[in-house]
Structure formats: C-alpha cells, structure tokens
Structure 1
Amino acid sequence: MKVKIGSSKLVKPFYEGNPPLTTDYMPLSVFDKVTYDQHVAVIYAYRPPTPPNATIELGLRKALAVYREWAGRLGKDSSGEPIILLNDEGVRFVEASVDRALDETVTFRPSASLLSLHPNLEGVVELVQVQVTRFSCGSMVVGFTAHHLVADGHATSNFLVAWGQACRGLQISPVPFHDRTIFSPRNPPKFDFEHRGIEYIPKNFKKVYPLIDNSVEDIVAHKVHYNAEFLSKLKARASSMNGTNKPFSTFESLVAHLWRAITKARGLNGLETTQVRVSVDGRARLNPRVPNEYFGNLVLWAFAKAKVDDLLREPLPYAAKLLHEAVMNVNDKYFKSFIDFANHKVRQEDLVPNAVADTKESILWPNLEVDSWLRFPFYDLDFGGGGPYIFMPSFSPTEGMIFLLPSFVGDGSIDVFVPLFRENLTTFKQICYSLD
C-alpha cells in the first residue's frame, strides 16, 4: 500500500473567548506515573460520504480547547516530578491519500501495513497524532495515536466522542473532569497490600526472561471472531459450577477460555506458573466514586495465576473463578493502599513503575495481558457522516498481548486479536472454538 503524505502540521486548540494562559501545568497523578510510557494507536475506517478534512480539523481544535492536556507537552516541575505543560503547542495533523479503493488495499487484519495509516509512534513530542487518509473510492481511514501517560482508554474514548460532537456542531457533553490532585493519601497511611513487584519494582531490578527458541520475528498476530451464540454457550459452561452465585461475565468467561487455549497451544511445562494481567478501572471502585468523566489514568491491574497442569486439568469454571476473584480483589481498599504506597514508599525506596519495564517487552510468554475495549464507545466517533464501520488497534506484535473489541457487526459478537509465535498458532486455531 503506497500512502502519499499531502501535509503534516501542528493543530492548536480553538478557543471561543479569551485563550487561557500557556504557562499552566498539570501534575501527573500516581495512576498516570505507573502506566505505560508510550503512544497507543488505533485505526478507524469510514464509508462515504465523509466530511472534508477542514471539518475534521476544526472539530479537533474545538475538542482540544476542552481537553487541553492533549495539546500540551510532557515535562517536569522544579522538583523533577512529571507534569503536563498546558502550553497549547498542538497535536500532529497529517493529511494523506492512497490512489486505490480501500477494499482493494486494506484487509483490516493484523499486519504491518496498518502502520502506514497513522504517524510513527517513536520519538514523538506531540501527545496526540492524527492521520486522515483518503482513498479513491471516497472512503476514509483515521489513524489516531495518543500518549498513555496522559489518559487511559476510558478517558481517551470520551475525548474521541467529543471530537465527533464538535465536528457535527454539537456542544461537547459530558465535559471532562480535569482535577488529578484528588487522590490524596490517608493520614496515617495504610499499606494493606503488597505493591512491590506488582505496580513497582526496584530501580536496578533485572527481569528474568524465559529461555525460548523463538524470536520477535516469529510472532504472528491473529484475529478470532466469537459470535454471540458461542459466547452464550461459553458463559453458561464457565458458570456451570457456580451454584446459586451470579454467573461469570462474558469477559471473564472468554478470557478464561483464551487463557487455557493459549496455554495449551504454547505447550508450556506443566509445572510452570502462568498468569493473566487484566486492567481494572477504578472510577466505579473507589469510594467515594470518581466521576466517569475523570480525564487521566485510573487503572490498576489484577493478576490471575495458576500452575499449567492445574489450568489444563481443571474445567473452564476453575480458570473463570481465578479471574473473577483476582478482579474483585482490586477494590476500593486495594486502590487506597496503592495511593498510600505510591505517595510514601516509592521515592523512599527508589522504586520505578513495573509498566516501564513491561513496555520494552515483546514476548510475554508464559504470561498473558488482556486489554479489553469492550465497554469503550469507540464506535461513537461520528465526524458527520455516521460512525465507523471498522475500528481496531494498530499492528502491535507483542506475543501474549491480547485485545478484545466489540465486533463492528454490532450483534454482540467479539473480535479478539491474539499475537502468538507462528509454531503455536496452528494449534491455537484448532482449539480456539472448542468448548471442551
């Protein structure tokens, strides 16, 4: 696919009245500091008719006036603490074209060709980048990249919906909640949980990587479609030993199934321990509850662990129960313990975020990480010609890093992006629909 870049420029916020000072800054919260220090890219595809680039650009500028953080830059305050400079320097806006029809050019399956549909993710000072690529058939692809230190998926999806509202001439609603200073530690602090080795590790800690024959070049990203009927059966199977308790969620049931199938496909040693890392949104878990409109990161992680022999020998409900309990344990008490620990122990013990080390990993074997985008309103990004007909993450071949998305079919089915080593993928394809 030959993508021709027409223009690349910085786009700044558009203020209706007097612009705010550009000397202000926003301190990063303890949740921002502990997340991934990298850009995340997503791809949207739209059928014609689509609005002109000028409409999309103006809508972006209006949305940036409400979400100023994206138009700023990362920096440090006088104490060396990380901050977002609210300097309105702007976001990258790229206009591009492809001299062919979209359906003839892009398959929208995980492949390196998707990387040409958004700006490069490395060495970027802008906190958001946008690439609008036009195809000869009138279709349009919007590639969007955003820095994870600024906001999590929940907050970023709210911004994307607001961008669409601004393009359609609507009032942006809801308005974001910007205050990142609300996570105060308790006095005295209470460390009810162990956070060393979970969210934080010692500065000079050396991770031990598994000895495996495969390399990054052997990783293949595969897309699996699970229809609503299969998911219903899977949920019933996962919840079959629950008795009078509430059934497990579709998410818990599907992740339990994937955990077992991938573990089997990898051919792991039975005595090895494998774990699944799952993001847990704290907005509804903290008491008092944090508004859904909170703009920033508010995620911690749950870890479900099992011996390979136990995971494969026990039925599906065993894995689903491990996942459910791990997620439920990341509750208000856990979040508050983390806030206290991050404020009192991190600097004292010279600890660094575990996610910083994880960012550099391309192979998660024998573990998995699951990024669920099932509840984010990504399909609501409407620039004026209707919502996208395809939404997906960009190509990211990290072995064991799984993405769950609602299928664009809109019937309750789920698409799963599974990067595995090529030699393990054949077995995974054979068993990924098995209910045994």
Structure 2
Amino acid sequence: MVVSYKTSYTVKPAEPTWTGSLSLSEWDQIGSITHVPTLYFYQPSQKLLIDTVITTLKDSLSRALVHFYPLAGRLRWIGHGRLELVCNAAGVQFIEAVSQSKLYSFGEFSQSPEYDFLIPTVDYTIPIQELPLLIVQVTKFQCGGISLGFTISHVVADGQSALHFLSEWARLARGEALAVSPFIDRKLLRAGDPPVLAHPILDHTEFNSHPPHLIGQTNNIEERKKKTTVAMLKLTKSQVDKLKNMATNKSLNTGRPYSRYETIAGHIWQCACKARDHNAEQPTALGVCVDSRSRLQPPLPPGYFGNTTLDVIAVSSSGELISKPLGYAASKIRKAIMTVNDEYLRSGIEFLKSQADLTKFQDLHALGGDDGPFYGNPNIQVVSWLTLPIYGLDFGWGREVHMGLAAHDFNDGDSLILLSHDDHEDGSLVVALCLQISHMEAFKNYFYQDI
C-alpha cells in the first residue's frame, strides 16, 4: 500500500488547562511504556466529506483535550527508571494522509501488515520528553472511505482509559456532552508517595521471577530472533460454549463455571504447548492481565484515567497441561486471577515503590531495549478485551465498518481475545495470536481439532 502524508498539525487544548508535573503511579511505569495502536475504518457516505471530517476531528479533539489534558503533555525521566508527566499543553500530533487503495481491497479486513501504514509511526529515537503522547492519522482512500489510526502512550492510559478518551472525543464530535469526566488524580494509587516500610509485602511472583526458558537454554535470545506471524482465529458462540462445557469438569471445578476468558486462555495455553512440541517436563507460564478498578477497596471512581492493570502468572508443565482436561488449565488461570484482591494490589504497589530502579519491570522492546518481560516460547500472554467498548466509535458519520489491530504490536506468545466485530452480538469471539511461523499451522489445527 502506498500512503502519502499530506500534512501534520499540532492540536492543543481549546482552553487553558492545569500545568505542572503530575506524579505517575507505579502501574503507569511498568509493563509497556511505549504507544499502543488502534485502527478504525469508515465506509464512504454523504457525511464523509474529507474537509468536514478534518475540521470536525480537530475541533472536537481540541475540546476533548481540555478534559483529558494529560494527553497533551509530555513524559520526563526522573531517574531510577521512573517517569513523571509534565502537563504543559504541548499538544498532540494530527496527520493527514491519502491512499490510492480502496476499502474493499482489504477483503474481509483480515489482519494485514498494510495496516501499519495507516497507523502513526512513533520515532523512539526522539527524546521521550519531546514525544507526543497521542498521535492521530486520518487516511482518505480513493473510494471516499477513511481510516482513523490512533497511537496512545501506555504510560498515560491503559486500554480502558484510552477507549474512554476515544468515546468521549467521539461524543463531542457528534455535538453531545461528555458522558463521564476523566478522574485525573492518581494519588488514589499513591502516585509520588514514598514507600511505607511497615506495609506488608506479599510474595509477588509476577515481579520476583522471570518466565521459564526452554529446557537447556539460559536465556531467550535465540527465541527472540525467530520469525513470527499473526493469525485472527474466530470462535462462534457454539464453539465457545463447547469449550466452556469441556472446561467445567466437576473434579476440577471450584463451584462456578469457568468464564470465557479462563476457558479460552486455557485452550490457547494447551494448544501452544502442543504446537511448540515441548517436552513433558518443560515449565511454561501464562501471563494474565487483571484490571484492578473494581478489586481495590474502595473501588476506583468511574473515569479513573491511568493504568490499573496488574499482570499475574499461572505456571505449569507442558506435560500436565496436555495430558489433563481443559479444566486443569482453566483452574490454574483462575487461581492466579483470584490472588488479585485489595491486599495483594496494595502490596504490589508497595513492592514496586521499594525498588531502587523500575527498568527491569518495563517492556522496552519498541525503545530498542533487550530487557523487560518476554512471554515467547515456552510462555504466552493472553489479554482480554472482552469487556472493553472497542466497537461503535461514531464521530458523526456512523459506526466503523471494521476495527483493526497493528501486527507490529505483537511478539511471539502474545494473544488477545476480543468480541467479533461483525457478529459480537451473537457471542462470537476472535483470538488474535502471534507465534513463530514454524508453530502457527500446528496451533491452528489443535485450536479447532475438538470443537
């Protein structure tokens, strides 16, 4: 795909906003500290006049930044792997682009590396204090349709917060009032506070240990070098129900049926072990991303704007996962999730505050670093977007016809469960999965074999 970039603007808040340094919580500063992309496609219509679209988006974005002013600021390193957010209204980047392609050239909008041309590129050679925290790209296609590509700093917003911003921006573009104002103060998560030495710290295996390596290897350097590919695997509601029935084994179940996430994540884990052809004694870990908004006591307020997710680890051996029923894998995942309560979350904050440096807890792959978490072979990470409002983003010209993911945001072992765009109302799901090329076809076969 050939994409021509016409112009780039800096969009600033429409009104004066608070300025100063905003302390970040520990959860803002671990895991991914780069930008996360999303992509929406809109079909041609009488309302989709490009000049009107650009004006509407820029004006409403400027008004949205009055409320979500941290996105118009910049990050700054303050030493020891820690960051702070400088709220200075420096603005966000807004790019106009054109493509000679047509929307229907994407076929059924299957995952495509060409999506990467439609999402803004972040130049991490630029000092972090100069990088916009939000970059928007509007691309007009020959047919008259458009795509909107967004990339938002994960330091400033997790998935829930990023989608909150996008939905409120869309409401303003439609001429409506804000539905839920963002809650900006991160002091609820003790942002900027010193450690409390008397506070008990529990055993946090997600921080204290590295994911297993392949037996016989002392690091994952060779695994990182291997080529990967991304697949979008659809599950109908009947297939999801069949997996849930398979997982609900009375000898393993703890009382309530396993959730869609527990079931499908367990199925992915089992299939990955088979496809990777592990030895039976091979240790393997599954990373689970848990949203803490409702798990803290009291719960965080609606509209809390920041990061509230904590990764926990389920561990087993490949032999046990493959030889035992699906309910065994699901039970391991449930056990990891159930550790995340108010005490555990506050202990996790205290643990991170007590660290001399946070660098080793950060995923720096996009910044050119080799450190940080790695869930490649023999491990995986399964993230759920099942409860996120990722569809129906209407800026005034109708809902998107498709929401896409950027392939470059995936690494070996990364997977994502989300509702199917076209059939989500009937319960169909999609698993976006990245594996080494040599393992993908075997994984697909195992994934669908019994369902």
User: What TM-score, normalized by structure 1, do the two folds share?
Assistant: 0.90
Amino acid at match of 1:233: K
- The change in CA–CA distance for 1:195 and 1:248 in structure 2 (over 3 A counts) is closer
Moved more, 308-317 or 5-14: 5-14
Q: Which residue of 2 aligns with 1:346?
A: 355
Asked if the contact 1:302–1:326 (Cα under 8 Å) also holds between the matched residues in 2, the reply is yes
- Deviation for aligned residue 1:183: 2.2
Asked if the contact 2:30–2:362 (Cα under 8 Å) also holds between the matched residues in 1, the reply is yes
The counterpart of 1:419, out of the listed 434, 441, 444, is 434
The counterpart of 2:141, out of the listed 135, 139, 144, is 135
Q: Deviations over 1:234-293 (max 9, x none)?
A: 111111325681101011101111110111011112111111101111110011111231
Cα distance in 2, alignment partners of residues 276 and 340 from structure 1: 24
Give the secondary structure class of the aligned counterpart of 1:158. helix
Give the secondary structure class of the aligned counterpart of 1:380. coil
Q: Deviations over 1:320-352 (max 9, x none)?
A: 100011111121111011122222x212xx453
- The change in CA–CA distance for 1:31 and 1:199 in structure 2 (over 3 A counts) is farther
- The change in CA–CA distance for 1:431 and 1:78 in structure 2 (over 3 A counts) is closer
Note if 1:162 corresponds to 2:168.
yes
Q: Which residue of 1 aligns with 2:419?
A: 406
Cα distance in 2, alignment partners of residues 325 and 292 from structure 1: 27
Note if 1:31 corresponds to 2:64.
no
Asked if the contact 2:21–2:85 (Cα under 8 Å) also holds between the matched residues in 1, the reply is yes
Q: Which residue of 2 aligns with 1:236?
A: 245
Cα distance in 2, alignment partners of residues 336 and 176 from structure 1: 23
Unaligned 5+ segments in structure 2 are 212-216
The counterpart of 2:302, out of the listed 287, 292, 301, is 292
Asked if the contact 1:214–1:421 (Cα under 8 Å) also holds between the matched residues in 2, the reply is no
- The change in CA–CA distance for 1:366 and 1:12 in structure 2 (over 3 A counts) is same
Give the secondary structure class of the aligned counterpart of 1:157. helix
Q: Which residue of 2 aligns with 1:59?
A: 60
Give the secondary structure class of the aligned counterpart of 1:279. strand
Cα distance in 2, alignment partners of residues 139 and 132 from structure 1: 10
- Deviation for aligned residue 1:395: 1.2
Asked if the contact 2:391–2:400 (Cα under 8 Å) also holds between the matched residues in 1, the reply is yes
The counterpart of 1:247, out of the listed 254, 257, 268, is 257
Note if 1:193 corresponds to 2:203.
yes
1:250-261 equivalent positions in 2, closer than 5 A: 250-261=260-271
1:314-393 equivalent positions in 2, closer than 5 A: 314-343=324-353, 345-347=354-356, 350=357, 352-356=359-363, 360=369, 364-393=376-405
Q: Which residue of 1 aligns with 2:444?
A: 429
- Deviation for aligned residue 1:26: 1.0
Give the secondary structure class of the aligned counterpart of 1:378. coil
Q: Which residue of 2 aligns with 1:204?
A: none
Asked if the contact 2:17–2:66 (Cα under 8 Å) also holds between the matched residues in 1, the reply is no
Identity of aligned residues (%): 31
Give the secondary structure class of the aligned counterpart of 1:162. helix
Cα distance in 2, alignment partners of residues 415 and 196 from structure 1: 27
Note if 1:175 corresponds to 2:187.
no
- Deviation for aligned residue 1:28: 0.8
Q: Which residue of 1 aligns with 2:214?
A: none
Asked if the contact 1:28–1:180 (Cα under 8 Å) also holds between the matched residues in 2, the reply is yes
Cα distance in 1, alignment partners of residues 348 and 142 from structure 2: 52
Asked if the contact 2:115–2:405 (Cα under 8 Å) also holds between the matched residues in 1, the reply is no
Asked if the contact 1:130–1:145 (Cα under 8 Å) also holds between the matched residues in 2, the reply is yes
Asked if the contact 1:48–1:385 (Cα under 8 Å) also holds between the matched residues in 2, the reply is no
Cα distance in 2, alignment partners of residues 255 and 159 from structure 1: 28
Give the secondary structure class of the aligned counterpart of 1:335. helix
Q: Which residue of 2 aligns with 1:102?
A: 103
Cα distance in 2, alignment partners of residues 412 and 70 from structure 1: 34
Cα distance in 2, alignment partners of residues 101 and 385 from structure 1: 18
Moved more, 146-155 or 207-216: 207-216
Note if 1:266 corresponds to 2:273.
no
Q: CA RMSD in A?
A: 2.5
- The change in CA–CA distance for 1:274 and 1:292 in structure 2 (over 3 A counts) is farther
Cα distance in 1, alignment partners of residues 249 and 2 from structure 2: 51
- The change in CA–CA distance for 1:213 and 1:341 in structure 2 (over 3 A counts) is closer
Asked if the contact 1:200–1:353 (Cα under 8 Å) also holds between the matched residues in 2, the reply is no
Q: Deviations over 1:50-90 (max 9, x none)?
A: 36111111111111111001111001469995211111111
Cα distance in 2, alignment partners of residues 282 and 320 from structure 1: 20
Give the secondary structure class of the aligned counterpart of 1:432. helix
Cα distance in 1, alignment partners of residues 143 and 71 from structure 2: 32
Q: Which residue of 2 aligns with 1:219?
A: 228
Asked if the contact 1:405–1:416 (Cα under 8 Å) also holds between the matched residues in 2, the reply is yes
Give the secondary structure class of the aligned counterpart of 1:286. coil
Cα distance in 1, alignment partners of residues 355 and 80 from structure 2: 15
Give the secondary structure class of the aligned counterpart of 1:75. strand
Give the secondary structure class of the aligned counterpart of 1:403. strand
- Deviation for aligned residue 1:375: 1.1
The counterpart of 2:41, out of the listed 45, 48, 59, is 45
- The change in CA–CA distance for 1:191 and 1:210 in structure 2 (over 3 A counts) is same
- Deviation for aligned residue 1:194: 3.2
Q: Which residue of 1 aligns with 2:112?
A: 111
Amino acid at match of 1:234: L
Asked if the contact 1:41–1:394 (Cα under 8 Å) also holds between the matched residues in 2, the reply is yes
Unaligned 5+ segments in structure 1 are 202-206
The counterpart of 1:147, out of the listed 138, 150, 153, is 153
- The change in CA–CA distance for 1:232 and 1:266 in structure 2 (over 3 A counts) is same
Q: Deviations over 1:119-166 (max 9, x none)?
A: 113326000010011112221111100111111111111001011001
Give the secondary structure class of the aligned counterpart of 1:182. helix
Moved more, 106-115 or 121-130: 106-115
- The change in CA–CA distance for 1:133 and 1:342 in structure 2 (over 3 A counts) is same
Q: How many residues align?
A: 423
Cα distance in 2, alignment partners of residues 304 and 196 from structure 1: 9
User: What TM-score, normalized by structure 2, do the two folds share?
Assistant: 0.87
Asked if the contact 2:206–2:313 (Cα under 8 Å) also holds between the matched residues in 1, the reply is no
- The change in CA–CA distance for 1:81 and 1:34 in structure 2 (over 3 A counts) is closer
Asked if the contact 2:228–2:437 (Cα under 8 Å) also holds between the matched residues in 1, the reply is yes
